Amino acid sequence: MVTVERSVVRMLRFGSPIVARTLYGLVVIVRIVTLAWAATQLPDRIATHFGASGAADGWGTREGYLALDIALSAALVLGLPMLAGLLARGSGAGINIPHKDYWLRPENRERFRARLSVDMLFFGGATGLLLSWVDVELVRANALAVPALGNSIVIPTVIFVVAMLAYSVWMVTVRYAVPAR
11-28: average pLDDT: 79
Asked whether residue 14 is assigned to any structural domain, the reply reads no
pLDDT digits over 144-171, tens only? 999 999 889 999 999 999 999 999 999 9
Cα→Cα distances 13→6, 116, 137, 149, Å: 11, 16, 33, 38
Asked whether residue 158 is assigned to any structural domain, the reply reads yes
Asked whether residue 180 is assigned to any structural domain, the reply reads no
Asked whether residue 66 is assigned to any structural domain, the reply reads yes
Do 97 and 174 contact (CB within 8 A), yes or no? no
39-55: average pLDDT: 94
Quick one: pLDDT at residue 2?
53
Asked whether residue 181 is assigned to any structural domain, the reply reads no
Do 157 and 130 contact (CB within 8 A), yes or no? yes
Quick one: pLDDT at residue 11?
46
Would you say the C-alpha torsion 41, 45, 49, 55 has a positive or negative sign?
Answer: negative
Asked whether residue 29 is assigned to any structural domain, the reply reads yes
Contacts of 16 by beta carbon, 8 Å cutoff, 6+ apart? 10, 118
Asked whether residue 1 is assigned to any structural domain, the reply reads no
Quick one: pLDDT at residue 106?
92
For residue 125, what are the domain limits?
19-175
pLDDT of 13 over the 60 cut: no
- 94: confidence class by pLDDT, cuts 50, 70, 90: confident
Distance CA 81, CA 180 (A): 28
Asked whether residue 36 is assigned to any structural domain, the reply reads yes
Neighbours of 20 (CB within 10 A): 20
The total domain count for the chain is 1
- Of 53-62, 90-99, 122-131, 139-148, minimum mean pLDDT range: 90-99
79-91: average pLDDT: 82
